[in-house]
Amino acid sequence: MKKINSIFYLLLIPVLAWLLISIVVPHLDLLFKSFRFENDDGLMVFSFNNYLAFFEDDIYWLTFVKTALYSIAVTLLAFLVTFPVAFYLTKVVAKKYSRFMVLLLLIPIWIGELVTLYGWMILLSDNGVINQFLISSGIIDAPIEMLYTHFSMTIGLLYMSMLFMIIPMMSALDSLDDSLIEAASDLGASKWTIFRQIIIPYTVPGIVSGGIIVFMLVIGDYVAPNILGGKSSLWFTEQIYNQFLSTFNWNEGAAFGFLLLLLSSSIVWLALKLTGQKLDRVGS
Amino acid sequence: MIRTLPNSPLYAIGYRIYITFFYLFLLMPLVTICVLAFNDSNFISLPWKGFSLDWFFANSEDRLGLFADDELLLSIWTSFKTGFVVALLSLIIGTIAALLFEQEKFRFKGFLYFLALTPLVIPGVILGISILLTSTFAGTYIEENFAVDVEFLRPSFWLVVFGQFSFATTYVMLLVGARLKKFDHTLKEAALSLRATHLQVIRLIILPFLRPALIGAFIVAFLISFSNFNTTIFLVGSDPTLPVDLYSRIKFSSTPVLNAVSFMIVAFITLSAVISFGLNRKRDL
């Protein structure tokens, strides 16, 4: 029996070290620091001031609420845009093309957010490809202002997150037996009925795990709101960023960070509860 | 509706148009970057002024091409180094974690596994600031009490490595774990009954079985590290990684050299994707 124990600890100790040093301790520290506040005498004391500041200043909690609602909306949008694609790739297109088409979906993911969103910046600017195309084809006379608006920010958030939704949905759809759809169709069900009663219920696990990944990416994103969004499109991560790297009020920043963590994990928890899923499935 | 069922032509054509638009949306920014990297202009966008390789090779007063821009080359090199170290570290710990969770039974396993998955649902920004806070605190504490300045606890190359490692490990664990689920346990039992030690089983049977997954996980971890921005930005010291450098250039001084770098990244990723696609197909045939 002793042999089994030694190998077990050999595996356990590095994993415990990883989880404790890089996940557990830093996040406990984040919580702890968010309650530290420098009082008038210059001493660090325990206080709720960092959280009070959040509620007292409209811009902070308004940005917070806006970020939450916007992220949910982008997640829904990502579902609407990508579901037909996931369905097409698994059920409609001939198998010999689908592998290549799936490969194309992976390329933007691996290229990375910064480069692809930079591409969107070029596309959407006043001198950009889309405006120049519209002007030269005579549809418009003057460039439409698209960059640094909510529109460009939404495009950016959608673009960098939506592909992460297709893949879990595809793996759910892949295991859906075609004969179920054929049987329903033979029995006279309309497309809409098949879609609502067979396809969607069957794909729910994929939709939920994809949705959670998209939501987390969007709510925690900094690049799209910052390089594509304008001055009006404040994002909560930008507030955290400012507290840390511009005003150097780290304790306030820690409070903001903890609030964001609380918000995102409670929404994820709610989504899992409502649909009866487990976090384990999100990973796979 | 599906392959085997007949469709009205209108539905089929409409569907195909939608998919075409989707792929157009997907590829438009990439194609734009690739074309404009060769534009003979001092601005990142249109109009097209003719073909030129200036943004790769020029070294004149108003044009500094990619291969003449030492700062940019240095940040690319930093990213490669970071990616390699992160991939190696997370491959080791992630594989150990996969072995632990797939093969062993112990108390609090469910809770530990949950903890190991949390990096999937912690925004990168939060991970960055927590690690920054803790390492700064630890650094100050050590300096005040032991008068030792621990360099890697301040924003630096190693702190970036540590931050990226903390979540890349989760992805390695999932990828390797997925392959390990397919492992035939009778092989292990046979080896053990032939008096192999547990370590020998891991080294001689399990690791060779995992080889394709290990290679895949290494590449994934490298790419995660190479393109990470959200966590890295808080931990980066005086030597920026490529995404951090690109970000500050996009914000403050964008020249078409950005298009040239982006082109290189797009080309590199696309080429590797096509090669791996070709290899996979050959194996299937």
Does the pLDDT at position A80 exceed 80?
Answer: yes
A1 assigned to some structural domain: no
Q: Are residues B160 and B280 in the same domain?
A: no
Taking the CA of residue A56 and the nearest CA in chain B, the distance in Å comes to 23
CB contact (8 A) between residue B277 and residue A99:
yes
A62-71 tens-digit pLDDT: 888 888 898 9
pLDDT score of A4: 54
Would you say A19 and B170 are in contact if contact means Cβ atoms under 8 Å apart?
Answer: no
Q: In angstroms, rounded to a whole number, what is the distance separating the alpha carbons of residues A263 and A239?
A: 15
Q: What contacts A112, CB < 8 A, 6 or more positions away?
A: B226, B227, B229, B243, B265
Q: Are residues B84 and B192 in the same domain?
A: yes
With cut-offs at 50, 70 and 90, classify the pLDDT of residue A29. confident
With cut-offs at 50, 70 and 90, classify the pLDDT of residue A235. confident
Q: Are residues B37 and B59 in the same domain?
A: yes
Q: In angstroms, rounded to a whole number, what is the distance separating the alpha carbons of residues B213 and B209?
A: 9
Cα of B278 vs its chain's centroid, Å:
22
A40 assigned to some structural domain: no
Best-predicted range by mean pLDDT among A113-122, A136-145, A264-273, B103-112? A113-122
pLDDT score of A2: 45
| φ/ψ of residue B59, rounded to 5 | -145, 65
Q: Are residues B12 and B43 in the same domain?
A: yes
CA-derived radius of gyration, chain A: 24
Q: Are residues B116 and B243 in the same domain?
A: yes
Would you say A205 and A169 are in contact if contact means Cβ atoms under 8 Å apart?
Answer: no
CB atoms within 10 A of CB B202: 20
A30 assigned to some structural domain: no
A212 assigned to some structural domain: yes
A234 assigned to some structural domain: yes
Please name which of B186, B277, B188 lies closest in space to residue A98, comparing C-alpha atoms.
B277
CB contact (8 A) between residue A14 and residue B96:
yes
Would you say B243 and A116 are in contact if contact means Cβ atoms under 8 Å apart?
Answer: no
Q: How many domains is chain A partitioned into structurally?
A: 1
Q: At what angle do helices A250-275 and A200-219 cross, to 10 degrees?
A: 180
Number of H helices, E strands in chain B: 12, 0
| φ/ψ of residue A38, rounded to 5 | -85, 115
Place of tokens 């902070």: A60
CB contact (8 A) between residue A181 and residue B132:
no
Please name which of B8, B15, B76 lies closest in space to residue B261, comparing C-alpha atoms.
B76
A183 assigned to some structural domain: yes
Burial zone of A9 (CB within 10 Å; 0-12 exposed, 13-18 middle, 19+ buried): exposed
Helix, strand, or coil here: B69? coil
Positions of E strands within A149-200: none
CB contact (8 A) between residue A220 and residue B165:
no
Place of tokens 């098949």: A194
Here the CATH number for the domain that contains residue A155 is: 1.10.3720.10
A114: nearest CB among B27, B243, B270:
B243
Query: What's the DSSP call for residue B68?
Result: G
Does the pLDDT at position A248 exceed 70?
Answer: yes
Q: Are residues B124 and B209 in the same domain?
A: yes
Q: If you count residue pairs, one on A and one on B, with CB atoms under 8 Å apart, how many are there?
A: 256
A124 assigned to some structural domain: yes
Q: In angstroms, rounded to a whole number, what is the distance separating the alpha carbons of residues B34 and B44?
A: 12
Place of tokens 């990616």: B83
Q: Are residues B152 and B279 in the same domain?
A: no
CA-derived radius of gyration, chain B: 24
Q: Which domain holds residue B216?
A: 72-254
Return the percentage of chain A with pLDDT > 70, whole number. Answer: 94
Does the pLDDT at position A1 exceed 60?
Answer: no
Q: In angstroms, rounded to a whole number, what is the distance separating the alpha carbons of residues A214 and A161?
A: 5
Tokens of B115: 């903890």
Tokens of A72: 């949910």
Q: What contacts A201, CB < 8 A, 6 or more positions away?
A: none
What is the per-residue burial (b if ≥16 Cβ within 10 Å, else e) of A82-107?
A: bbebbbbbbbbbeeeebeeebeebbb
Residue-averaged pLDDT of chain A: 83
Q: In angstroms, rounded to a whole number, what is the distance separating the alpha carbons of residues B253 and B256?
A: 10
pLDDT score of A284: 46
Q: Are residues B92 and B16 in the same domain?
A: no
Q: Which amino acid makes up residue A243?
A: Q
A82-117 tens-digit pLDDT: 999 988 888 887 777 888 888 888 888 888 888 899
Q: Are residues B112 and B236 in the same domain?
A: yes
Would you say A243 and A249 are in contact if contact means Cβ atoms under 8 Å apart?
Answer: yes
With cut-offs at 50, 70 and 90, classify the pLDDT of residue A279. low
A227: nearest CB among B43, B202, B250:
B250
The one-digit pLDDT tens for each residue of chain B (285 residues) are 676 676 777 888 888 899 999 999 999 899 888 888 787 777 766 767 777 766 666 677 667 666 767 788 888 899 999 999 999 999 999 999 988 888 878 888 888 888 888 888 888 889 999 999 888 888 888 888 887 777 777 788 889 999 999 999 999 998 888 888 888 888 888 888 888 888 888 888 888 888 888 888 898 899 889 888 888 988 888 888 889 988 988 888 777 788 888 888 898 888 888 887 777 666 554
Does the pLDDT at position A74 exceed 90?
Answer: yes
pTM for the structure as a whole: 0.85
CB contact (8 A) between residue A159 and residue B137:
no
Q: In angstroms, rounded to a whole number, what is the distance separating the alpha carbons of residues B229 and B222?
A: 14
pLDDT score of A232: 67
Q: In angstroms, rounded to a whole number, what is the distance separating the alpha carbons of residues A52 and A122?
A: 41
Q: In angstroms, rounded to a whole number, what is the distance separating the alpha carbons of residues B222 and B84?
A: 6
Q: In angstroms, rounded to a whole number, what is the distance separating the alpha carbons of residues B94 and A283?
A: 14
Cα distances (angstroms) measured from residue B62 to each of A3, A252, B87: 68, 43, 38
Q: Are residues B186 and B270 in the same domain?
A: no
H-assigned helices in A88-112: 95-111
Please name which of B187, B8, B41 lies closest in space to residue B103, comparing C-alpha atoms.
B187
CB contact (8 A) between residue B3 and residue A245:
no
A198-217 tens-digit pLDDT: 888 888 888 888 888 899 88
CB contact (8 A) between residue A112 and residue B226:
yes
pLDDT score of B88: 93
A122: nearest CB among B22, B32, B243:
B32
Please name which of B265, B247, B245, B257 lies closest in space to residue B65, comparing C-alpha atoms.
B257
Q: How many domains is chain B partitioned into structurally?
A: 2
Q: In angstroms, rounded to a whole number, what is the distance separating the alpha carbons of residues B50 and B61?
A: 20
CB contact (8 A) between residue A121 and residue B1:
no
Does the pLDDT at position A229 exceed 90?
Answer: no
A103: nearest CB among B126, B202, B277:
B277
Tokens of A220: 């925690």
Nearest CA in chain A to B102: A11
A172-203 tens-digit pLDDT: 888 887 888 888 888 877 778 888 888 888 88
Beta bridge partners of A45: A37
Helix/strand/coil percentages in chain A, nearest 5: 80, 0, 20
A103 in contact with B at a CB cutoff of 8 Å? yes
Q: Which domain holds residue A56?
A: 51-283
Q: Which amino acid makes up residue A215?
A: F
pLDDT score of B74: 87
Tokens of B206: 């399990």
Beta bridge partners of B39: B51
Please name which of A264, A228, A225 lies closest in space to residue A242, comparing C-alpha atoms.
A225
Q: Are residues B57 and B78 in the same domain?
A: no
Which chain B residues touch A33 with a CB distance below 8 Å?
133, 137
Which chain B residues touch A129 with a CB distance below 8 Å?
28, 32, 45-46
Tokens of A277: 């899923």
Query: What's the DSSP call for residue A143?
Result: -
CB proximity under 8 Å: B 52-91 to A = none
A17 assigned to some structural domain: no
B196 in contact with A at a CB cutoff of 8 Å? no
